[in-house]
Structure 1
């Protein structure tokens, strides 16, 4: 496989979505998909032409094969994926009632929850520019938390830059534990991504800029605040830069934060300055929410360029 520019590590699950939207109890069918923050980022980057590797643990089961096949089909390097016997691949169900999305996880004891430093050969990071991690993985188990710290430290020592998306999940761990873990990993993080809502929940300081500056003091050279439809902001070298979002019709908000992270990394790899990174990240987030699914609406490089240039095509 081609040496990856970006390596991502984390859990990807089989996804069941109520179709058409409504409550699960009334559903006659489920649309089958996959979903995982880190693989969403890997797929987004692969569609933009970035060599990307996803590392994860899957059960030796049909859901695991489905996950593996779909990620591999997107052009992501899955050569480091391991299949774990006697452990299931995680599952989550999603229902949408009005504009509210409800998610139910079945991931306790999953194959991915057994991730440890012994699961990953450090040579899988060779040649990479970035390692992308999220706060979902360490919330799966104490072993996963230790492995996430080990990965960040190992990458930094090897000269690989570390991107960490807080991605706080209240169904996996509490505010205090998530905030404490983030504090412990920050010294090894180059780029920290945090949503403004989760930032206010984990660190109830005054104002977005203060949150960014206090987090930057703990290690990251860049702190990016994701503001959803309102756009984003970045603190780098003491300068706080803000960028507005794009106005688009929103069909499904799931995966937008992962798309944003991918867009920011893509612009970074392309040599873009902070304003370009934020604009590209906002664009990918906007393109993601225009369709259904965790990653299905993510664009190709040409589609992203058209969106950023406000070019339209008849399509016929």
Structure 2
């Protein structure tokens, strides 16, 4: 079975609080993980998707597998007998600030290794999607990500790498030391505007932010990356290629939850790539998917199916479709 998209990484149980955790109260249980967020987004848009990772032999791991399978994702997992599935608490501290608290050190997911990558690659894929998060979890996981990227590039597959920097997992210097050489395997490099310096051998030399972005993009293109995709949140997104630069505004919506928005954008972008859309079409679908994410609650629960993409951008705000 040659799937459209293969992604590898750690999925966790996310326990969400609607207010300060210190005040107690109810918690909602969800599946979290950048790679599985992208997997769900791409699957909902009509593509075949496989997710590979490691979970504990515990109810949390069982919950994750059940949720991913219910989205039509082929799960290629290993159960770790002595390590637990990672857990994350998400606190809605204010209407504008959400804080994450990780309990994933030594988790089952951090034990992802080369053997897991080999098993995941057996069935083939058109696109392999990786993130910097998994590389930050452990040396073993870092080596697995490096191996997956090099193998996919060597086999002529599309390699999508999202920087996805997490300051609670490693420092910027630590991330740069790993991600800059890793980026040479990427066909598509995805980063927020404040993450680009983490994949550059010489970041921040230009006199303006736009100049710095262009300089890093030029460096990455010279090193073999085909598309440098820059996410700017509410300011939209842009793409640098050898043929030029494209920009797209964000789709205006009422934002209620920004968690997972970047992964949603990536899912939309990769879905359009799989459909053969040009750069402008990829940016547009990415913006639409991101708008669905920020205007609904949850990491991925509100992500659109293909026939729902027309709901945003084409109908007035507050519309009830009858």
Partner Cα separation in structure 2 for residue 315 and residue 232 of structure 1: 29
Deviation at 1:315, TM superposition (A): 3.8
Partner Cα separation in structure 2 for residue 155 and residue 252 of structure 1: 34
Match of 1:3 in 2: 2
Match of 1:73 in 2: 70
Partner Cα separation in structure 1 for residue 289 and residue 188 of structure 2: 18
Match of 1:173 in 2: 170
Is the Cα–Cα contact under 8 Å of residues 221 and 242 in structure 2 kept in the other structure? no
Which shifted more, 51-60 or 192-201? 192-201
Partner Cα separation in structure 2 for residue 306 and residue 266 of structure 1: 17
Aligned-CA RMSD value: 1.7
Structure 2 CA distance for partners of 1:308 and 1:156, relative to 1, 3 Å: farther
Deviation at 1:201, TM superposition (A): 6.8
Q: 3-state DSSP class of the match of 1:121?
A: helix
For normalisation by structure 1, the TM-score amounts to 0.94
Is 1:87 aligned to 2:86, yes or no?
no
Deviation at 1:309, TM superposition (A): 4.3
CA offset digits 1:6-53 (Å, max 9, x no partner) = 0010000001001xx211011211011110000000000111110000
CA offset digits 1:82-138 (Å, max 9, x no partner) = 111010000000101221111000000001111110223256354411000000000
Point out where structure 1 has 5 or more consecutive residues left out of the alignment: none
Partner Cα separation in structure 2 for residue 92 and residue 195 of structure 1: 22
Is 1:219 aligned to 2:224, yes or no?
yes
Is 1:314 aligned to 2:311, yes or no?
no
Partner Cα separation in structure 2 for residue 32 and residue 123 of structure 1: 27
Which shifted more, 115-124 or 168-177? 115-124
Match of 2:305 in 1: 300
Point out where structure 2 has 5 or more consecutive residues left out of the alignment: none
Is 1:261 aligned to 2:261, yes or no?
no
How many aligned positions are there? 312
Deviation at 1:237, TM superposition (A): 1.7
Structure 2 CA distance for partners of 1:68 and 1:123, relative to 1, 3 Å: closer
Deviation at 1:247, TM superposition (A): 1.2
Is the Cα–Cα contact under 8 Å of residues 175 and 198 in structure 2 kept in the other structure? no
Match of 1:247 in 2: 252
* Structure 2 counterparts to residues 39-58 of structure 1, below 5 A: 39-58=36-55
Which shifted more, 125-134 or 288-297? 125-134
Give the ranges of 4+ consecutive aligned residues of structure 1 lying more than 6 Å apart after TM superposition: none
Match of 2:139 in 1: 142
Residue 164 of structure 1: which of 161, 170, 173 is its match?
A: 161
